[in-house]
Amino acid sequence: MVGGGSGSFIGAVHRNAAWIDGAFELTAGAFSSNPERSKTSGAELGIAPERVYSSYREMIEIESQMDPEERIHAVAIVTPNHVHFEPAMMALEHGFHVIIDKPIAFDVDEAVKLRDKVNETGNILGLTHTYTGYPMIKEARHRIAAGEIGALRKIFVEYPQGWLSTFLEKDGHKQASWRTDPSRSGAGGSVGDIGTHAANLAEYLSGLMITEICAELNIVVDGRLLDDDASALLHFENGVTGVLIATQVAAGVENNLSIRVYGEHGGFEWSHTDPNTLIHRRNEGPDQILRAGTEYLCEDAQRATRLPAGHPEGYIEAFANIYLEIARAIRDHEEMGYKDGEYDFPGAEDGVRGMAFVQTMIESARSKEKWTPFQLP
């Protein structure tokens, strides 16, 4: 693990997710750019002291020279965005698989280089777009692909939060500070932090790619350096249209990602406030309540649940579903059975799309033209 020392939010989540199913063991780490803090964090985590490193460079170099039976298999990178690229590149080049928290990198350039490196090395790179790990998201995706609601027409996706309603970073609030700092977060604020989740979810669920964007980005809180509020009209493939909202100044709102997709015959509605439920709206006949853990779900959704219906699973479990798929891919890779396209986790290509999304949103927000094309580099 790179990053994720004491006080880290997402580092702890990665560990919970890696551990809950026994899919990974944490055996080494460079938990902080401060060697002392890395040491302390490693000790707290029960890591053997000789494998707590003072930098990721040290870790990757030393581990890569260890006996294959002993050394780490994959590197999980849970640092702020500006420290994604280098450790990821280095890990890939030294033969390690990589798990990165989203967004994949600081900008499009870095993302493209990482993707190319992945293609070149054949190593695995997993990107933790958590929300695609929820079973009911997989169920909706399956049913949409099977044509259950006919040709798609509308996609509404929104990700409102309220935690940045005040000028938190002024007083050094750890999470707020780096996320609102262009030198650590990249060119996008809310659009990178949560907008990429929303866009990724919309594309994953619908199977349709965004083609054009008409966006507005705002800095709502005085003094802030990056957008804390984003909204956009969207064009998808096949003439489908939609709306995306990603705001961090919806005061009092927690973390309410939701998506609604409508086709000719009905729609699917999912909200992170009740993630084990998927509402199936229907033009004719009563709406249905689809539930995690039931027998009528598709195979992918079933594989993504641990418990029978009525035993709620949450964010860590969704996260862990991505870890499980990555673990499966790594195992296959090590056993020479890896087959492209067989695994259900976001990867380098999604990472590139994410960075391109941020860039296109920013371009569109600056443009007087209504529509800005979404082009992949």
User: Which one, of 143, 161, 197, 128, lies nearest residue 273 by Cα?
Assistant: 161
Q: Which stretch binds a copy of itself (CB under 8 A): 29-37, 90-98, 180-188, 228-236?
A: 228-236
Size of the site for a copy of itself (CB under 8 A): 88
Among 180, 231, 258, 360, binds a copy of itself (CB under 8 A): 231
User: Which one, of 50, 54, 48, 61, lies nearest residue 5 by Cα?
Assistant: 54
Among 119, 183, 238, 283, binds a copy of itself (CB under 8 A): 283
- Residue indicated by tokens 């890569």: 64
Cα 46 from chain centroid (whole Å): 27
How would you classify the pairing of strands 152-160 and 241-247?
A: parallel
User: Does the footprint of a copy of itself cover residue 250 (CB under 8 A)?
Assistant: yes
Nearer to a copy of itself, 266 or 351 (CB): 266
Please state the closest distance from residue 277 (CB atom) to a copy of itself, in A.
Answer: 9
User: Does the footprint of a copy of itself cover residue 272 (CB under 8 A)?
Assistant: yes
Touching a copy of itself, residues 352-371 (CB under 8 A) = 367-371
For residues 124 and 11, give the distance between their C-alpha atoms in angstroms, rounded to a whole number: 20
Among 48, 66, 145, 309, binds a copy of itself (CB under 8 A): 309
Please state the closest distance from residue 125 (CB atom) to a copy of itself, in A.
Answer: 24
For residues 49 and 42, give the distance between their C-alpha atoms in angstroms, rounded to a whole number: 7
For residues 4 and 46, give the distance between their C-alpha atoms in angstroms, rounded to a whole number: 14
Binding mask 78-117 for a copy of itself (x = CB under 8 A): ----------------------------------------
Q: Which helix (DSSP H) or strand (DSSP E) does residue 184 occupy?
A: helix 182-185
**Polymer length in residues for the chain:** 377
Please state the closest distance from residue 324 (CB atom) to a copy of itself, in A.
Answer: 12
Residue type present at position 3:
G
Touching a copy of itself, residues 157-196 (CB under 8 A) = 158, 160-163, 165-166
Please state the closest distance from residue 120 (CB atom) to a copy of itself, in A.
Answer: 32
For residues 356 and 210, give the distance between their C-alpha atoms in angstroms, rounded to a whole number: 11
Nearer to a copy of itself, 105 or 257 (CB): 257
Touching a copy of itself, residues 32-71 (CB under 8 A) = 45-46
Q: Quick one: residue 336, left, alpha or beta (phi over 0 = left, psi -120 to 50 = alpha)?
A: left
Q: Which stretch binds a copy of itself (CB under 8 A): 32-40, 96-104, 113-121, 154-162?
A: 154-162
Nearer to a copy of itself, 15 or 129 (CB): 15
User: Does the footprint of a copy of itself cover residue 255 (CB under 8 A)?
Assistant: yes
Instruction: Look up residue 75 and give its two tokens.
Output: 């590197």
User: Does the footprint of a copy of itself cover residue 282 (CB under 8 A)?
Assistant: yes
Contacts of 83 (CB under 8 A, 6+ apart): 2, 3, 33, 77
How many degrees, rounded to 5, is the angle at CA 271 between CA 344 and CA 23? 35
Q: Which stretch binds a copy of itself (CB under 8 A): 79-87, 195-203, 250-258, 330-338?
A: 250-258
Within 13 Å of residue 264, how many CA atoms lie on the same side as its CB? 4
